[in-house]
Each structure stands twice: as C-alpha cells, then as structure tokens.
A and B are shown apart, each in its own frame.
Chain A
Amino acid sequence: MNQIEQLEAKSIYILREAYRDFKNLVMLWSIGKDSTVLLWLARKAFFGHVPIPLLHIDTHYKMPEMIRYRDEMAAKWKLNMIYGENKVALEKKLTFPDGNVDRLTCCRNLKSAALKHTLSGEWPRMRFNHQLGDYEPDQNKEAYTGVIVGVRADEEGSRSKERVFAPRDEESDWNVGDQPPELWNQYKTDFAPGTHLRIHPLLDWTELNIWEYIQKEQIPIIDLYFDQGEGTRCRSLGCWPCTGKVESTARTVAEVIEELKTGKFANIAERSGRAQDKEDGGGLESLRREGYM
C-alpha cells in the first residue's frame, strides 16, 4: 500500500468507528476540498452510501458558486443535507462586510455561533428535501454529539495539537492541555452526558495528499480552486470578503499538484489568503477554542 492508500484506509476506519458509537452524528461540509474529500471517504466507508447528515454553515457571504455546487452534489449523491445560519447577526448586520465589526468578530458571529447553536439544535436547521429539490425546516432538534470535521494537522499550529476523537465540553470549549490519550487505533468512543466529540479523520493528511487523492479518485471538486482564465485561483475557500485569490494558472488537479510540489507555493502556508488568521498572534487558535473549525 502506498501512503495515500494507507491514509485512506485509516480515515475509513475512523469514520466507521464514529458511526458505530455515535447515535447523533453529523459531518461538517464547508464545500472546500478537504471536507469534500471527507465526504468522498464516507462514501468509501459505507460503500457508496452516506448514512451521516451533512451540515453546512451558511454565512451568506460564501461565493454563490459554492451554494450551487453544494445543492447539486446533495441531489446527485442523495445526501442528507442540512444548513444553519446566524439569522440575528445577519439581520442586525453585525458583520465585517457591513462595516460594523472586525473580521474575527464576524467569524465568531457567522461561523462559530451559528455552528454552535445549529449543532445544539437551539437555532433552526434547514434540511434538503429531495422530492421538492429545496430546503425546509428540519423537524429534528436533537443535539449532535459527534461532529466529523475535515481539519488537517499541517494547516497551522493549533490544528497540529488535535486528537482524532477530541472531546469538547457543553460550551464547545477545547481544553488543549488535557486531552485523552489515543493508543494505536483505539480512540475515545465513550463520553459523559453533556459532552460531545469532534472527530477528525483527515488529521494526518497534508494539502498535497488531499490533491493527490482528488486526482486518484477523480473527485468532482468545486472549480473555484482552478484558474478560470484570469490568472488567479483560490487555494483555500471561505467567505468572499476575506478570501484572497492566489496568482496561478493551474487549471486542472494535475497542475495544482505540480504547483504544490515544485512551484511557488511549495513553501507558502495554505491559509495565507485567509485574512482573519492575521488579526492577532493566535487568531485561529482563539477561534478554535470557541468552537471554530
């Protein structure tokens, strides 16, 4: 088995382990390449089916292509697709693009808070109805106790400290200093009432691994990652006001891989285009403690 095959097998094992032990399991799908690979791995783990609901947090500042792609794939792969949002912050215009808060606060409002309350079931969830081809309020208000997330250890400092099965307390807080041990392939699959777990099947993957896997499996990835003829492309996807494009003429997966291996991005951090990371010394870390993915 080569490295990609080993990574794939391990991720499948983790997904099946999560599916075995969690009744209220959900998988976050940001539409980006990592969580799309994760979704693909779920289809691998469950032989073409995705028996886990997918949750997207809609900040309403996502690029329109992302929402279109999300709903196309949801229909095509028969996904149990759910989205949540921070209605109040959006109505009161407590966002960075509205000029009322800084970037970090905007992330807190539209992502962290929306995620937290959608997971707990306090805020409405919208569920894709395959008959109607549209979203409708989800009747299920039970809290999700297991949340599968596509973070990778190589993304930035704080993510390299994650566990594969990482507990969060009721407030979604992350206690970095006191995490459960993980031995061989035995993870924390027991949890006290009132706690929940984040599950990270992609922790050991690198950005390059992700692209190589996309190529190997021919995973249909959103085309924002490729140059559309303007000489720029996204390397990491987020909300449009905070996602810078990189100068690149890579039009295919193979060209992206070539660029990562040998070209100008070989030594530049992936999230360098994400403006919110730069607002203070450990911006993303403070966000992650509060439940950001």
Chain B
Amino acid sequence: MKTNQSEKKRISVVIVGHVDHGKSTLLGRLLAETGSLPQGKLEQVKALCAKNAKPFEYAFLLDALKDEQEQGITIDAARIFFQTPKRHYAIIDAPGHIEFLKNMVTGAAHAQAALIVIDAKEGIQENTRRHGYLVSMLGLKQVIVVINKMDLIQYDQESFEKTQAEYREFLSRFKLEPLAFIPISAFEGENMIHNSEQMPWYQGNSLLTQFDKLEASSTDELVAAPLRFPLQGVYKFTEEGDERRIFAGTLESGSAQVGDKVIFLPSGKQSQIKSIEEFNRPAATRAQAGQAVGFTLSPQVYVQPGELMVKAKEPQPKVGNRFRANIFWMGRTPLIQGKRYKLKIAAKRVSVKLVEVLSLIDASDTGSIQKKQQLDRHDVAECLLETLKPIAFDLYDEIDSLGRFVLVDDYEIAGGGIIIEDRTGQGDLFSEQIRHREEARVLGWLRQPDREKRQGHKARFILFIGDFSQGKRKMAAATEKLLFEHQANTYFMAYTNLNLGLDSDLAAIASDSDEEVRRLGELARLMTDAGMIFITCLSLQDPYDIELLKQITLPNEIFVVSVGENRWNIPGVSLEVAAHANEGAVAQQIVAALEFKTL
C-alpha cells in the first residue's frame, strides 16, 4: 500500500514511572515548548491557578479533571497530542501510583514506544521496576529512559551514571535495551528541547531530538508473517436480497488472496477464499495485515466466531489446551488454582484454569524470584494455564498478537499475559478431575447392575442436537413418551429449565457456554447414575462440546441424535434424522437402537 510521503506519521508514546517523579511536568513543558497547546488553554489553567491562589505549574496543564486536581495524582492514561516539524505524537500519560496500575497498563498497551521517568534524587523505585518489566511484557521495544530533576542533584554526572547502570542491568533481565538514557530537568527545561548547558558532559540527544528518532510502527514485517485472521463474526444480512455470507475480522498478520486455501482452527474445517468484501471501496483481490475486511468462502463452512483462519500452505499455529505464560495480575481478588476464568485470545473466548504458579517476579526489591501458590494484585509471574477446550495460538515471540491474552474474572479484565511455551499433552487437569471424581465418589447401597436388572435397560444420556427450530423438542418429548410406555425410567429436561435455575447465575451470552456445557455434563452424570434415560436438546455449534459431554458423562454412555443438516460437523453422532421428521418415527428408531431386555 502506498503512503503519502508528505503525510506526517503519528506515533504514540506512553510516559511511565514512579509517582511524583515528574511526568506531568515533563509533559506540560513539552506541550508548551512545542507550541502544541490549544489557544487559551495555558491562560485558562493560569487563571484557574490564580483563582485558587496556587502558583502555576506545567503539571496543571494535564490535570484537566477536577478529581485529579483534588487528589494531586494523574488518574488515568490520558492522551495528549503534540507535533514537531517531523511528526505527530500522541502522548499517553500513565499514572505512577500503584493503585492505578491497570490504567498504566492500558496506556502502555496502546503505545508504540515508552518513556520511563526516574527521579534523579529518589532513584529507582518499586514502580520504576514494575513499569520496566510491564513495558517489556506489553511488547514495547522502543524505550527511552530519562533521569529527571537533575537540577536537584546539581546536574551530577556520577549519580546519573550510577542510576543508569543499575536500571540498565535490571531491564536486561527482561531482554529490554533502552534506546537512550537522558539526564533532564523538566522543571528547568534542561535537555528537553535543546542540549543543556548545565550538563556539558552529556553528549547524547535532547529528549525531543530522541523522540524524533523513534520509528513509527510499520506493518511490513507483519504482512510478511503467516496469515492470522481471527474470526469476529459471520454475517448474513438478508436485507434487500443480500445473499452474501461474510466472514468478518481483522488480519492480525500476513495476507490473503482470492483463491487461497484456508483452514479454520481449532475445528480444522477447510475452504477457499471466493471474494474479499468491503463497503465503498473498489473490489480487491488481496487483503493484508491491519485491514478489517470480510471474506466469502466456497465451499460454505460453518464455524463459530473465535476460530482462527490461516492459510493451508503457511506455517500453522499451535492447537492445544496447555501453555506456559508470563502473567500480570490486576484483579481485586487473587488468581487462584481450581477456579475457572475466561481467557480471551484474539477473537476466542474460552474457560481456563491456573494449573500452577511456576515463579514469581518481585518488584519490591530487585526483582528476585519467589515461590507462591497464587497471584495477588500487581504480581507478575510465570504460570501454567489449561483451557477447557483447545485453542489456536502462537508463541508471543513468533506472532505477538496470537501469543497474548487477557484473563477475565467476574466480568472484569483482571490479568494479561504472553505465551512463552506450548505444554499441550503434558498432563491434563480436566481428565484428572474426572478421574478423581470417579475414584472418590461415594456410593449408596444400590449398584448400577441392580438398577439395570430391574429396569431392563441401561442408563443413557440422549442428546438431540441441531440448529434452532428443527423440531428437536417435539422429538425429545415423543421419545420420553415412548420410553415411558416401555416401562423405562426416563426424564426429558427442556434446556430452558436449566437456564431458569441451575444456570441462572451465568450471563446469557455465548461466551459463557463452556460452563453451561460443563454443568449439563455433570447433571447428566448424576441423572444417569440414578439409572435414568436422561433426555435433553441443545443447539450445539462447537464440535468440542460433544467431546466434553462424553468425557463428563463417563462411564455412562451418550446417544447423540443430530436433527437436520449437521452443518457444524459435530462428531460421534449415533443417529441422523431430518429436520421436522415425524417425532413418533424418530422415537421408534431411538428405542430400537437402545438395548431392552423386556420390550
């Protein structure tokens, strides 16, 4: 794609550092000295200061909110724009206060470069370290470190160099090599715009000059990488006869062309790109990293949002359920073992558990390694995670957008992380739990064979699957009726009843379906344990759900009836029937397929 040479690029830089190390002053000074303030802003703030009988400070320029002025700390990652003759800057002012770490992280996650501010007098503090490794984990590769308030230490070269050496060593543990260390005084304006006369011993760039040396992000590298197209939605808007079934999303990396053979993961379904869809743009035959587009495919495939589309001929991502990751935790309650969280990676949302905390990085001293069972607020650690169902991912070092994720706890994004190793196949928490459940379960007086003998039939879980409005419920009820007439011990449960009761605490959105499926499985396990032929209907769209239900129901068997076209390729179907087939006939087929001693 051609870019206009005369157009100035915009680069976003996050400013981080320990509280009171002078970020706001630095920023206010930059804005004022580059002539970037809107007309009247400086006067407005000066007037406000006069009204409140406070001496004017550059820092006040940024304190646009009343809240902030009252508390004296920058609350959020505010975005401020300024420009030099070379380009536009969006400065993200991240708060230094520990309470607002999630705001700092938000700011840094959206920047292309970081400016770390250290108070020359106070030196390296807890948040200087914490922000340092977070900047590295968040994927920022261009980092400038300024040692601020040099005026307070009489512009002393030796102590500047001491702080520089100490911090450089610390960052090197996270493979982070800053572009520059600059001694400045934002308050006095030294080494900000021009090189300071107070520090003739410093031969490097002034801060503004160093800013202009930052490189605006380029998509070239991303375009050359393998295609990663997380599926955000499958749209069919039938208005005005629009027949297109469009697979919508943003290309995270690589490129795609009409005719390319593609695979969806983890389902493994294959197709070919038929067209590239965009609104109000000339028809294109190729799309590349960064573009938000849509594809139509042929042959038609049925896949859920969240799947990852890749090219058949390119290096494939990993598909697995267990990985090692670096995680930082911001939640009010700790990240603990045994609890289910929601993992969001690219467009996929999946249930996840913490298997183990491998090692913890401590910011309060010099970043030593500790052993711990859980992650408390503001902890950073290497952990082992396991998802309930397989996901497609890459290692962070390979394709960063497919190697990073967030963890949701109780509706809130409470943690973030990057994947450093695939551990699929090395243990399986879920199977272990099922095994443990079977081993540890307490039995009553009756045994399963006793029940089967009296009932004349085995316990079963009969599950009707298929799209909405295919006549599943009618068939299920007819099956219950016929089984009852055969003296069978049976129960049909409409899924609605589960939503009204047992599942009423689950949010009614698709991404929580993992937990619904798990609960249904456990319920089926109990009902079949009672000897029952337990019947229900489900509009399943994910092949892995059947795998899960099978595992959870073990040792009892599941009998799957697929109603209508099995578009989602659900495996392990015992009986296929047409949509709206005669329910009596379907019931007959099912009863015939089951083993009865006394019919």
User: Is A191's beta carbon under 8 Å from chain B?
Assistant: yes
Query: Do residues A281 and B48 form an inter-chain contact, with CB atoms below 8 A?
Result: yes
Given contact pairs A47-B277, A184-B401, A188-B412, a sample of 13 additional A-B residue pairs in the complex whose CB atoms are under 8 Å apart: A1-B290, A2-B7, A13-B292, A45-B248, A46-B237, A181-B416, A183-B406, A183-B413, A217-B280, A267-B39, A269-B39, A269-B40, A282-B65
- In Å, the complex CA distance between A234 and B106 comes to 35
Query: Do residues B7 and A3 form an inter-chain contact, with CB atoms below 8 A?
Result: yes
Give B86-128 as 1s and 0s: 1 = Cβ < 8 Å from A's Cβ atoms.
Answer: 0000100000000010110110011000000000000000000
Top 5 closest pairs, chain A to chain B, by CB: A157-B64, A181-B102, A12-B292, A49-B237, A9-B292
Interface on chain B toward A: helix, strand, loop, or mixed SS?
A: mixed
User: Is A231's beta carbon under 8 Å from chain B?
Assistant: no
Contacting residues, chain A, for B79 (C-beta < 8 A): 153-154, 160, 203-204
Query: Do residues B38 and A269 form an inter-chain contact, with CB atoms below 8 A?
Result: yes
Query: Do residues B290 and A181 form an inter-chain contact, with CB atoms below 8 A?
Result: no
* Distance of A64 from chain B, by nearest CB (Å): 29
Partner of A268, one of B40, B138, B233, B330: B40
Q: Which among B110, B233, B292 has the greatest number of chain A C-beta atoms within 10 A?
A: B292
Query: Do residues A177 and B39 form an inter-chain contact, with CB atoms below 8 A?
Result: no
Q: Count of A residues near B, CB < 8 Å?
A: 60
Give A1-36 as 1s and 0s: 1 = Cβ < 8 Å from B's Cβ atoms.
Answer: 111011011101100110111010000000000000
Q: Count of B residues near A, CB < 8 Å?
A: 70
Query: Do residues B75 and A177 form an inter-chain contact, with CB atoms below 8 A?
Result: yes
CB-contacts of A45-82 with B (<8 A): 45-49, 51, 78
* Distance of B104 from chain A, by nearest CB (Å): 9
- In Å, the complex CA distance between A281 and B330 comes to 34
CB-contacts of B199-247 with A (<8 A): 219, 232-233, 235, 237, 239-240, 242, 244, 246
- In Å, the complex CA distance between A157 and B233 comes to 35
Residues of B that sit less than 8 Å from A by CB: 1, 3-4, 7, 9-10, 37-41, 48, 64-67, 75-76, 78-81, 90, 100, 102-103, 105-106, 109-110, 138, 219, 232-233, 235, 237, 239-240, 242, 244, 246, 248-250, 277-280, 290-292, 294, 305, 330, 342, 344, 401, 404-406, 408, 410-413, 416, 507-509, 511
* Distance of B11 from chain A, by nearest CB (Å): 10
- In Å, the complex CA distance between A9 and B294 comes to 12
- CB within 8 Å for A179 and B292 given contacts A163-B106, A190-B411, A206-B81: no
Residues of A that sit less than 8 Å from B by CB: 1-3, 5-6, 8-10, 12-13, 16-17, 19-21, 23, 43-49, 51, 78, 153-154, 156-158, 160-161, 163, 176-177, 179-186, 188-193, 203-204, 206, 217, 267-269, 272, 281-282, 285
- In Å, the complex CA distance between A193 and B504 comes to 12
Contacting residues, chain A, for B511 (C-beta < 8 A): 21, 189-190
- CB within 8 Å for A20 and B305 given contacts A9-B291, A176-B76, A181-B105: yes
- In Å, the complex CA distance between A191 and B106 comes to 19
Query: Do residues A3 and B10 form an inter-chain contact, with CB atoms below 8 A?
Result: yes
Query: Do residues B344 and A186 form an inter-chain contact, with CB atoms below 8 A?
Result: yes
Contacting residues, chain B, for A153 (C-beta < 8 A): 78-79
Query: Do residues A13 and B250 form an inter-chain contact, with CB atoms below 8 A?
Result: yes
Contacting residues, chain B, for A19 (C-beta < 8 A): 233
- CB within 8 Å for A176 and B75 given contacts A16-B248, A188-B412, A206-B81: yes
Query: Do residues A184 and B279 form an inter-chain contact, with CB atoms below 8 A?
Result: no
- CB within 8 Å for A192 and B232 given contacts A44-B279, A156-B64: no
Partner of B279, one of A13, A48, A177: A48
Q: Which among A47, A183, A285 has the greatest number of chain B C-beta atoms within 10 A?
A: A183
CB-based nearest B residue for A218: B280
- In Å, the complex CA distance between A44 and B105 comes to 30
Query: Do residues A2 and B38 form an inter-chain contact, with CB atoms below 8 A?
Result: no
Contacting residues, chain A, for B244 (C-beta < 8 A): 47
Query: Do residues B344 and A20 form an inter-chain contact, with CB atoms below 8 A?
Result: no
- In Å, the complex CA distance between A292 and B294 comes to 35
Contacting residues, chain A, for B330 (C-beta < 8 A): 181
- In Å, the complex CA distance between A203 and B81 comes to 13
CB-based nearest A residue for B507: A190
Contacting residues, chain B, for A281 (C-beta < 8 A): 48, 66
* Distance of B17 from chain A, by nearest CB (Å): 18
- CB within 8 Å for A182 and B110 given contacts A16-B233, A192-B411, A269-B39: yes
